[in-house]
Structure 1
Amino acid sequence: MQKLLFTFFYSLSLLFICTNLSFGQVVKVKKNKTISHWQHRFTLALGAGEELGAGSLGYAAMYGFGESQRFRIGLGVRLNLALGITDSVPYCSKKYEDELGNSYKDSLLVEEPFLGSANLGFYMSYDINDRWEIGASTDLVGFGFGNKKNAFLINSLTRDTLSTEAEVRSLVQLPKVRGTLNNEFFVGYKFNPRWRLRVGVQYLLTEYLTPEKFFNDNDEYRNNAILGFIGITFTPFNNDAVNCPKFKKEKIHYLKEGEM
């Protein structure tokens, strides 16, 4: 009889404890963290050279390799704007030679150039350490825009001159190197998990076309400018980890009544 009473009260106690756990508490079951290898970057940059100033606004999706994800490559889109900071900016034709083998380039002086492009580009970066990075980007393909400008054309061989109009090439393309193309080489400093300061060099190609091939079968004129620039990069969806993109939030499953 005593054994029977002991078994009864023991079973009742276990039932009471389990009931309290089921109804009075919520048990959290944590799942392992997962890391996204993708990082989203929004960039803004301002540059200046001897004859041209430039600004760019872009977005890139960067994929990180390995556990540390220090090395990243990706694709992005970038809006480029370029304007003359002098009254006229020289644009040059392709080289041609005279009968003696001397090389010449015709010049197109464009008054107050202002043009832009929206391009798809290739991006890469490498984190040297927790704070510093190096990187580069280049435009690949896109389209250019800008108003027609008054221009003054000079034949470098004969010294003939004429006034004409210059227009922006609508097609931007590599590897033929056409249109308005922006290339960057930079060093970045991460002063915040989401913000980076960048300084570097831009190699900016801009191009104007004349309505006819006036001299030496040329109607394409280019300016290859080297600009120093300063910019910022914003990486949303980032956590406090220095070399890694955002950790996805831990998924917590709450056990409801009756699941235990």
Structure 2
Amino acid sequence: MIASGLTYAQDSPAKSRFSADLGLSVGAQQYGGHAWLSNMHFLGAKRKIGIGYGIRWSSYFGTDQNFTSAPPEFAGKAEKEGTLTVANAQINSLNLAIFLQYNITSKLEAGFNIDAIGFSFGEEQGSAFAPPGTGTSNTAAYLASPTSTNILLVGANDRGSLYSEFFVRYKLNDRLAVKAAFSYYFLEYTTSQPIAANDDNDRFRNSASMVGLGVSYTIK
């Protein structure tokens, strides 16, 4: 009876976990590097559901990426959506993030995490703007910089650069785990001046889908 109790105590998941992660996400002519610290709290008798918070650094790099008009009132309207093409996009972000996960077994975990609020920065880049309905013809040159404020407001209402991912993670031992992920990355540039041909809009967004790999290390 005592031995059984000791075995259960050893197998029972911890109530909380503080960990560090590194990840790489890759898409079409674009990729991102990510590092974060997270603090998870596990709920229920079996502690299978985890809810947590943390801070994440992301650096994005993209070649010849198209950013479309970002204001939510422009979304899905071909007559409103202009295109800003950035030849060498590079955005750095530091965001507070939300983490959710489910412990499938003692070794296998799945979950979702998303940036909530923070800021971005990067060098000003030259870009080419194509008015709505013109494709890549009749373009004009503009300078653009990463939108400085990031905030999660749901869908087209989001502002700035925000990273999110669905993941499956396998624990190699009590400290180290490996992860595969599908990520969705909102990235945003602001032009140095409003663009009259786009109803004086100055914000443009690239919604990037990527796949990724990562490692996790449990600190405590």
Please give the per-residue CA displacement for 1:81-129, whole angstroms capped at 9, x wherever unaligned: 1001x3x2111114759xxx86452111112111111000100111101
Task: Tell which structure's C-alpha radius of gyration is larger.
Answer: 1
Gaps of at least 5 residues in structure 2 are 1-9
Aligned to 2:37: 59
Q: Secondary structure at the match of 1:212?
A: strand
Distance in structure 2 (CA, Å) of the matches to 1:96 and 1:184: 26
2:104 maps to 1:128: yes
Distance 1:39 1:130 in 2: 14
Task: Report what 1:162 is aligned to.
Answer: 140
The superposition leaves residues 154-210 of structure 1 with CA deviations (integer Å, 9 ceiling, x where unpaired) of: 113365421110111110011141111000100011111111111010100110011
Counterpart residue identity of residue 216, structure 1: N
Q: What is the percentage of aligned positions where both structures have the same residue?
A: 28
Unpaired segments of 5 or more residues in structure 1? Answer: 1-32, 238-260
| Residue matched to 2:25 | 47
Correspondence for 2:56 among 78, 96, 115: 78
- What is the TM-score when the length of structure 1 is the normalising length? 0.72
| Aligned equivalents of 1:105, 1:51: Cα separation in 2 | 22
CA deviation map 1:118-160 (0-9, x unaligned): 0001001111012111011010000001010011111133654
User: Does 2:207 match 1:224?
Assistant: yes
Of 141, 152, 170 in structure 2, the residue corresponding to residue 174 of structure 1 is 152
Question: Which structure has greater strand proportion?
Answer: 2
The answer as to 2:128 corresponding to 1:152 is: yes
Q: Distance in 1 between matches of 2:74 and 2:38?
A: 39
Structure 2 counterpart of 1:192:
173
Q: Give the root-mean-square deviation of aligned CA atoms.
A: 2.2
C-alpha separation between the residues in 2 aligned to 1:209 and 1:140?
20
Give me the TM-score of the superposition, normalised by structure 2: 0.84
What is the DSSP-based 3-state SS (H/G/I as helix, E as strand, rest coil) of the residue aligned with 2:173?
coil
Distance in structure 2 (CA, Å) of the matches to 1:102 and 1:67: 51
